[in-house]
Amino acid sequence: MNTILKLALVGGATALVAATAAYSSASAAMSPVERGRYLVSTSGCHDCHTPWHLGPNGPEPDMTRALSGHPSSFELAPLPPQNAGWPVSAAPTNTAWCGPWGVSFTANLTPDQATGLGSWTAEEFMAAIRTGRHQGRGRKILPPMPAPVYAQMNDADLQAIFAYLRTIPAIGNKVPEPLAPR
């Protein structure tokens, strides 16, 4: 190995260590709520749990209803015909999905007591994500929720997400039950 290559490798490794240390330091400096906010913002939660509307720049999440799930007031169009070639459809809000599993509606993640996660504990939230089951014990959480991906998060990250979700504005919105397959 020539000297230049060795120097480059050493330099690269040093940079990587420095970056990792900086990341770890930054991560450690975050409070659980800040860490949760970061994870929610970077893990696609708003993509489905915040209703989308047509804004001045095209479709975008309606942050006045952030993470409140499928709007109960939204009138669904008649379900599309089943199509084996294109089996999945989504409502314009991106909060209702139709597929071979039936129709799923994204959950209200705000701390509203009656309709959101207000009465949940961190343990229940973690159980739901870890087991992929509604309330940690019921039916399977339906597509497109990537529960198997989030189930790989460590306890601290899941607790941080829950801690952050407790801080966002509570929005009363009773999300419908999913519909069984036709």
Partner 1 sequence: MWLGLHAVACAPTGPIDPPPTLAATGLYADAASRSLAAGVMPFEPQYPLWTDGARKRRWIALPQGTAIDASDADAWQFPAGTRLWKEFTFAGGVETRFMQRRADGTWLYATYVRKNGEPDDVLAPAAGMPGFVATLNGKRHDVPSHADCRLCHESGRTAVLGFSALQLSSDRDPQAPHGAPATAGSLDLESLVARGLLLHLPEQLLAVPPRVNARTATERAALGYLHGNCGNCHNASGPLQRLGLRLDHPLLAATPPAIETTFGVPSAFQHRSARARIDAGSSATSLLWLRVAADDAITQMPPFGRHLVDEKARDLLARWIDEQRPGDTTASSLPHQPTKKKKGS
| Helices assigned H by DSSP within 30-172 | 32-42, 45-49, 122-131, 147-150, 155-165
> 76 by DSSP, 3-state: which?
coil
Report the alpha-carbon distance of residue 154 to residue 160 in Å, rounded: 10
Q: For the CB of residue 147, give the shortest distance to partner 1 in the complex, in Å.
A: 13
Name the segment binding partner 1 (CB under 8 A); options: 1-9, 45-53, 116-124, 158-166: 116-124
Question: What letter would DSSP give residue 140?
Answer: B
Report the alpha-carbon distance of residue 91 to residue 88 in Å, rounded: 10
What is the pattern of x (binds partner 1, CB under 8 A) and - over residues 77-106? ------------------------xx----
Report the alpha-carbon distance of residue 88 to residue 96 in Å, rounded: 11
Q: For the CB of residue 101, give the shortest distance to partner 1 in the complex, in Å.
A: 8
**Cα 53 to the chain's mean position, in Å?**
18
> Does residue 166 touch partner 1 according to CB under 8 A?
no
Please identify which residue in 124, 143, 144, 172 interacts with partner 1, judged by CB under 8 A.
Answer: 124
> Does residue 139 touch partner 1 according to CB under 8 A?
yes
Q: List residues near partner 1 by CB under 8 A.
A: 101-102, 119, 123-124, 127, 130-131, 133-140, 142, 174, 176-181
